[in-house]
Amino acid sequence: MNETLQFPKALPDKIATAFPLMKNLRTVCLSQFTVCGPWRELLESVFLAPALQSLEIRNSPWQTYAEIFDTHDIPTPSLREFIYHAPFALLPARKAQQDNGRRGMAQRAAELSILHPLIHSFRASLETLELPAELFFDLFDAEFPVLRELRVEGYGPSDSQWVRLLRLAPRLRVFNVRLVPGDALDEMRLVDRMPEASDVIDRLHSISLSNPSPRDLIFRLLPSTLTDLSLTTYPDHTTTADLARCSLPKDIISCPDLLSILKSLSVPHLRSLAISYKWDRHRSQEELLQYIARVFPGLDVLELNQYHTPANMQKTCMKQIKETLSSLSRLRSLRLNLGYMQTGQWLCDTTLQFDTHTAWDVGTWIKSLCDISFLVMKAPLAPFDRPYGWVWTWRTYAVNGSGRS
């Protein structure tokens, strides 16, 4: 489904005929409606699927007052998952540099008018919810009794209200919040005072925080039962280019600051770790990797995003990574981003050969490894992707005889 559909009535009519017969249809994804968001008749026809459990609306936001319609009286199913993935406004290229993906008044009004009653009609049954950060405080204003996973992304304030609102989700286990950083005085902090929210955080099994600060007290409150932790930069190279020509934050966390965060944790059961940091000197990275290998021996998955790596240090860094991590006897998957773009290594035969050889070499050091991934560029898959340009993706290689691809 895409924006080339010029006659909205034809699509919902066809869906209304077909979907009631699809007894096993569980998930519907509406994607790339960049001219307008899903209209009333389209949603009504989608909701006719008798076994529908998940609705995803991706990069298809409501943007104008003219799109507003009443959702209070639409019969809705008991959805278990609702994804509204529109972290940034879809702006014309000429405005993107000025507005940088922030919502205007009209888009915000349209989205809230439609989404608020819609989401609250699913509230009693929702287990997974994703919302734009700019709309989150207005939409997450009542209890979600069975919600287990919450994802929030985009522009939003960095204050402790985020964690306080989690009390409205008593069964929450997975919390992912990825925010575009503000200025230097507006750093990302979820907890400002120690006793504030430990009862909320104690339940979490997985947490993802972007652009972390060593001054955020949440790291002292994370439970020992935590299994998945992500502390990465946002926006990053893999972020969809709704944020036109988006760049990495200027202030990526340093190795010493990231190490201080990891040292404040007590998470002996950690199985998955993803981190971003800025290369500053060889010894700093060595200390970081040694600490990870020593304190988190049970890791299954590790992702390292190392930015500003000097071109003449990449092979040295790779040698350091494979030798230091060789003691991780349970590591199955390794993702590496060593800032290839900055050294001109675009997706080409030489890069492919380098990565294939590197994957084999790392596998000989880390015997438990099943696959290794490198961040590379790929061309758009369809014409409607052209405004967004080339995109970054992970290229995965099987190692040590693994059948994975």
Section 331-350 average pLDDT:
64
Q: What pLDDT score does 393 carry?
A: 78
CA distance 370 to 379: 27
**pLDDT confidence tier of residue 345, bands split at 50, 70 and 90:** very low
Q: How would you class 171 by CB atoms within 10 Å of its CB: exposed for 0-12, middle for 13-18, buried for 19 or more?
A: exposed
Q: What are phi and psi of 239, to 5 degrees?
A: -65, 135
The listed CATH number (2.30.30, 1.25.40, 3.80.10, 3.10.590) that belongs to domain 157-398: 3.80.10
Q: Which residues contact 4 (CB under 8 A, 6 or more apart)?
A: 384
Question: Around Cβ 291, how many Cβ atoms within 10 Å?
Answer: 15
Q: At what angle do helices 282-295 and 255-263 cross, to 10 degrees?
A: 20
Q: What pLDDT score does 384 carry?
A: 46
Distance, C-alpha 390 to centroid of its chain = 19
Q: What is the mean pLDDT of the chain?
A: 83
SS (H, E, C) 100-125: CCCCCHHHHHHHHHHHHHHHHHHCCC
Answer yes or no: are the C-beta atoms of 150 and 159 closer than 8 Å: no
- The winner for highest mean pLDDT among 30-34, 72-76, 236-240, 356-360 is 72-76
Percentage of residues in the chain with pLDDT exceeding 70? 79
Section 374-379 average pLDDT:
73
Answer yes or no: are the C-beta atoms of 49 and 20 closer than 8 Å: yes
- Report the SS3 class of residue 128: strand
Q: Which residues pair with 266 in a beta bridge?
A: none
Segments making up each domain of the chain, as ranges: 1-118, 157-398
Q: 17, 12, 77: which is closest to 50 by C-alpha?
A: 77
CA distance 11 to 13: 5
Q: 104, 110, 150: which is closest to 131 by C-alpha?
A: 150
Q: Where are the alpha helices (DSSP H) in 19-104?
A: 40-46, 93-99
**pLDDT confidence tier of residue 343, bands split at 50, 70 and 90:** very low
pLDDT tens-digit series, residues 247-271: 566 678 999 999 999 999 999 999 9
pLDDT tens-digit series, residues 155-200: 887 666 777 788 899 999 999 999 887 655 466 777 766 555 567 7
pLDDT tens-digit series, residues 96-153: 444 678 889 999 999 999 999 999 999 999 999 999 999 999 999 999 999 999 999 9
pLDDT tens-digit series, residues 275-312: 999 887 768 889 999 999 999 999 999 999 998 877 77
